[in-house]
Amino acid sequence: MDLRYTEAEESFRAELRAWLDEALPKLPPKPDRNDWPGRRAYDTTWQRMLFDAGYAGIHWPVEAGGKGATPTEHLIFLEETERAGAPYVGANFVGLLHAGPTINAAGSEEQRRKYLPGILSGEDVWCQGFSEPGAGSDLASLRCRAVRDGDEYVINGSKIWTSHAEVADYCEMLVRTDQDAPKHKGITWLIVPMDTPGITIRPLETVMGTSEFAEVFFDDVRVPVANRVGDENDGWRVTMVTLSFERGTAFVSEVVASQRLLHELAELAKKVTRKDATAWDDVALRRELGHLTAEFEALWALTKWNVSEAARAGMPGVGGSVFKLRFSETKQKLYELAHRLLDRAALVVEDVAGLPSGDLMDERLSSLSYTIAAGTSQIQRNIVGERILGLPKER
């Protein structure tokens, strides 16, 4: 067990820090949360800066145009960019972390040439069409269908929870191409240009009152058969290939950000008063801050453990669900604590009386999704119970 970074890893970190110092001041101002074209422009500008500096697709293989970084270098990259306050992957998420790696692993040479460069340079933004109103945790029960008509597929149905749909160029989509096959065997993975006729986008309003994602409707949407990745009816396997790219780094930025927030909340606790003492003088509250310090320190250690395991094995270990379960619930507790600290200022989703209740309550509301998105905590517990502990499935 060695927690020391190698010389090569340290020089990677030093170079990255030097570049971040120079690059970040050149960024345009951050757009408003509801300004989707502005957000796309901001996120893709950052992606272009990474591309020009050779950091685009940090964890992608070199032959796909990436940097071919090791899992540990990827961890350092995410840690340092977050510490420096650099933009998050944002609108480039689906392209960089999902569609791109999938096309590289399961697509044709022509597809790789056509789609990968635009993802790396920030030219193209991708969205995801997997979930449906009737297919959430049970994704494989999806019903949006594609029927073959000569050299084209004709798509009919709807998708939901699609982030960046309004500003995306392409959609990675799972469609049903065989109605009669067992549910996992009749699915196909398609690339759908978002300007294809027949696509309607309806923003979904979240609990924050903002539209973080959309419903997307497909009415006789025609895409060439050449847009299929992998074989017809083999889309479930293609999707599983995507999951195999995870190297334990999925939550690095968020753990670093949570640790920073914890320090900010401690500062806030020392300022806000309760009767004649500060919140920090409240033993229960102070101990909760101490407890959360331990939680995030342990999650940071588990991140290094999982990344090291993936680096050794060349594939993800079983730790992803374990990590996600604890992290999502702990991060919710962090915002519950923020809420407690704000007291009645928590009733206002904007800064009030000199308190940062705007961002904190916005994030507090957003945090309700952590235990739902990307696999609910209940599904994660099934995965841990069945795949790690070997308990039988419920019949």
Contact footprint for another protein (CB under 8 A): 1-6, 9, 72, 262-263, 266, 286-291, 293-295, 297-299, 301-302, 304-305, 307-309, 311-312, 319, 322, 325-326, 378, 380-382, 384-386, 388-395
In the residue annotation, 10 being an active-site residue is answered as no
- Return the residue matching tokens 């927030």: 261
Question: Minimum distance between the CB of residue 248 and another protein, rounded to whole angstroms?
Answer: 10
**Smaller CB distance to another protein: residue 347 or 388?**
388
Question: Minimum distance between the CB of residue 304 and another protein, rounded to whole angstroms?
Answer: 4
Question: Minimum distance between the CB of residue 25 and another protein, rounded to whole angstroms?
Answer: 29
User: Could you write out the DSSP letters of every residue in 175-202?
Assistant: EE--SSS-GGGSEEEEEEETTSTTEEEE
**Smaller CB distance to another protein: residue 275 or 389?**
389
Q: Which contiguous run of DSSP H or E holds residue 261?
A: helix 252-271
- Return the residue matching tokens 């009749």: 186
Is 41 within 8 Å of 31 (Cβ atoms)? yes
**Cα(198)–Cα(293) distance, rounded to whole angstroms?**
50
Question: Minimum distance between the CB of residue 387 and another protein, rounded to whole angstroms?
Answer: 10
Selecting among 166, 246, 254, 288, the annotated active-site residue is 246
**Smaller CB distance to another protein: residue 230 or 320?**
320
Question: Minimum distance between the CB of residue 391 and another protein, rounded to whole angstroms?
Answer: 4
**Smaller CB distance to another protein: residue 27 or 272?**
272
Q: Quick check: helix, strand or coil at residue 241? A: helix
**Smaller CB distance to another protein: residue 72 or 162?**
72
Write the CB contacts of 96 (distance below 8 Å, at least 6 apart in sequence): 47, 57, 60, 89, 119, 120
Q: How many CA within 13 A on the CB side of residue 80?
A: 21
- Return the residue matching tokens 């032959």: 63
Burial class (CB in 10 A: 0-12, 13-18, 19+), 204: middle
Give the active site residues: 246
